[in-house]
Amino acid sequence: MTETGKPIDRVDGRLKVTGAAKYAAEYNQPQMAYAFPVRSTIANGTIASVDTNAALQSPGVLMVLTHENAPRLKALDPQELSQAGGRLGENLVPLQDGRVHYFGQFIGVVVAETYEQARHAAGLVRVAYAEEKPAIDFETELLKGFRPETAQGQPAQLNTGQAAPLLAAAPVKIERTYTTPTENHHPMELHSTIAIWEGANKLIVHESTQSVMTVRAVVAYFFSLKPENVRVLAPYIGGGFGSKGNPWTNIVLAVMAGQAVNRPVKLVITRHMMQTNVGRRSETKQQVALGAGSDGKLAVMRHHNNSYSNLTQYFERSGSPTEVLYSAPLREITYQVARLNIGASTFVRAPGDAPGSFALESAMDELAYELKIDPVEFRVINHTTTDPLSKLPYSSEHLIECYRTGAEKFGWARRKQQPRQTRDGRYLVGYGTAAATYPASRASASARVRLAADGRVIVQSATLDLGTGTYTIMAQTAADALGVSVERIAVEIGDSDLPPAPVSARSITTASVLPAVLAACEMLRKDLMQLATADAKSKLNGVNPAEIIFSDAKFFARSDRSKSDSYSDILRRNNKTALEACTTAMPASGSGLGAPGASCILAPTDSEENSDAQKYSFHSFGAQFAEVRVDEDLGLIRVKRFTTVHDVGRIMNEKTARSQIIGSVTYALGETLMEETLFDKRFGNPVTRTLADYHVPVNLDVPPIDVHFIGKPDPHISPIGARGLGEIASVGVAAAVANAVFNATGKRIRDLPITPDKLL
């Protein structure tokens, strides 16, 4: 491979910086109307009456839809929808009844000639309620919560009650409680939809989504359309982080509004609605107990996890890191989930692992301190090369190398074991570390590659680029597989009419889509080579294909490079304007299908590829190191520098990979130091409503971030050996910073975010 791994500029970079890259809300249509939702002002109850008269008389208003006059959609059967390839962010179909489940729920929609007219009229809709007391207080409702039996298809409760005797017998032990707050999604691009009906049975949807295939399935399901008659377009996405992985009710509202007025309709939610209507990471309360011998070897791990949910089976699986990291004879992991009248919890970057690692990795630091063992060495002592639960070896694991590399690059040897030993003027200085892990997933995906006679190549798949560099690494993969320069390759994605691909979430895109691109290129190259060797006019006529090599859009005989033939000449002599191949690539066992409906040829799979965990356990690993400065008088924390090292398989593009890691660490610094959503416990409304009071990092909050990769390909996940890396770098960041704060001040902060009031 010659292009793979190179830090080339993003192929879509110029389009982004010049404004030529269009996002969902920018595809304005002739005669387009605007929709604006009406939201509930209570958190629990039923709608007694709705008065829309004033809204209907307001200038420009075309229609007001509520549960009283909205079209009846197909009733939700989650299992049937799932079988059709669809999922919802919350199991709630809008405007089908008068029930209110949370504050801010969409209970109506106004359609008008302009956005301003629709928004103004929405404020004129008067709603009376039969209000019921909402369940808002987490601690209170947790006592009445439920214990889920499964989590993502696996048993949720592990070894319940078995840790107590081992903890009692452990020579050294700790038991601590760690809490993380409710956190909200705030990508730069708001959730946006333009719905365009073409007659009664065909629909085009421009949507800001992480899965065009899922949106297509959801819309087709509720509006009783054939999936092939729904086209969803999302060539560019302004960030998702999980919030756009599953469709929310705003999409259904927009399509419903367009059908009702028989015009294209645009619906863009507000920043306020990001706090209520598109999911969040739920609050967690985690009790971690660790027991070890005086030699530092863990004897037992216990991790009790508490979170909340509503209108979904999803809950924050914060025990995930405890399933994977460290060798211990027994680990007990349990879950309790409260039901609150708050919008559904959902996937947020590194779901489960990010808050879970804060608890586990803080506890590991606390136990290392009790044992008087260096925190890095304590992790090395308890390192495991096999999955503690499945007992399978990891497909590729270099975590100790991450520790050693990070410690050297960071200068960990300068750290003093006792806190409050290092100062820089008025600041206390501390060092902290944490391990990171995240599942390495692969699903089926399809790709089409077309080679034109003029030498241009088009690579197509219904995957997405959330701003992470998918366009670029797809081009690099095709460039190497065909021996064509990146400049001659165009990548087309974000269109449900293209060969299907799985949701761009769970760090799954690189591991799933690139093998499909590689397989399609190899099939096309093989077909082209057969044309050449069978052509009497070709210099390669009769040459054994095994003796043919390729580069610069040409084939060469390995033993005599004067025997060559260009791709363009081969096609022209055979009277072909183009040649194409379409393949579906999947893990060896044939399960894990993430792209239903693929019509492409199934790519051959090597027996060692097995990402379905029959032979191996698939995870990525990393190590985080933070230096903090703490103003003892004011309680202000500044992360001075951060070193992050990751084992994520082959690196497809050093520049875009590094950019992803920097973004992920920055994201996690926000969760660590400032992000928190608070609710009024009387009414259920979020008190933190916009980016004015829901704080995220700005430039001055972000230190220099030193990024390193192990870079060793995973030989079992795919022929390429690359795993996803969009999420792992946010795992362990909070614990590394919290552990550094302890090293600086001697004070343990077990409650995120780490704000000055908790230090003073």
By annotation, the residues acting in catalysis are 727
633, with CB counted inside 10 A (0-12, 13-18, 19+), is exposed
Bridge partner list, 193: 207, 267
> What is the rounded CA–CA span in Å between residue 276 and residue 136?
14
Among 611, 627, 626, 630, residue whose Cα is nearest residue 715: 611
Do residues 191 and 268 make contact, with C-beta atoms less than 8 angstroms apart? Answer: yes
> What is the rounded CA–CA span in Å between residue 504 and residue 435?
25
- Bridging pattern class, strands 601-602 and 423-424: unpaired
Do residues 268 and 27 make contact, with C-beta atoms less than 8 angstroms apart? Answer: no
In the Cβ-directed half-sphere of 180, how many Cα atoms lie within 13 Å? Answer: 34
Do residues 236 and 210 make contact, with C-beta atoms less than 8 angstroms apart? Answer: no
- The H or E element spanning position 433 is strand 427-439
For 575, list phi and psi in degrees, rounded to 5.
55, 40
Contacts of 424 (CB under 8 A, 6+ apart): 629
| Residue 647 DSSP symbol | E
Q: What is the residue type of 164?
A: A
> What is the rounded CA–CA span in Å between residue 373 and residue 184?
37
With vertex at residue 647, the alpha carbon angle to CA 641 and CA 652, rounded to the nearest 5 degrees, is 100
Q: How far apart, in Å, do the first and last CA atoms of the chain sit?
A: 55
Q: What is the largest CA-CA distance in the chain?
A: 85
Structure tokens at 139: 């601690």
Cis (ω within 30 of 0) for the bond into 500?
no
Residues in the chain: 760
Query: What does the radius of gyration of the chain's CA atoms come to, in whole angstroms?
Result: 27
SS3 471: helix
- Bridging pattern class, strands 457-460 and 126-131: unpaired
Structure tokens at 321: 């890191």
> What is the rounded CA–CA span in Å between residue 73 and residue 447?
34
DSSP-assigned states of every residue in 309-370 = E-SSS----TTHHHHHSS--SEEEEEEEEEE-SSPPB---SSTTHHHHHHHHHHHHHHHHHH
| Residue 305 DSSP symbol | E
> What is the rounded CA–CA span in Å between residue 386 and residue 346?
30
Bridge partner list, 554: 551, 566
Do residues 344 and 182 make contact, with C-beta atoms less than 8 angstroms apart? Answer: no
Q: What is the residue type of 656?
A: T
Instruction: Please list, residue by residue across 248-277, b when 16 or more beta carbons sit within 10 angstroms of its beta carbon and e when fewer do.
Output: bbbbbbbbbbbbbbebbbbbbbbeebbbbb
SS3 174: strand
Alpha carbon distances (Å) from 200 to 75, 223, 260, 316, 427: 20, 10, 11, 41, 67
Strand spans (E) along 202-241? 203-207, 230-233
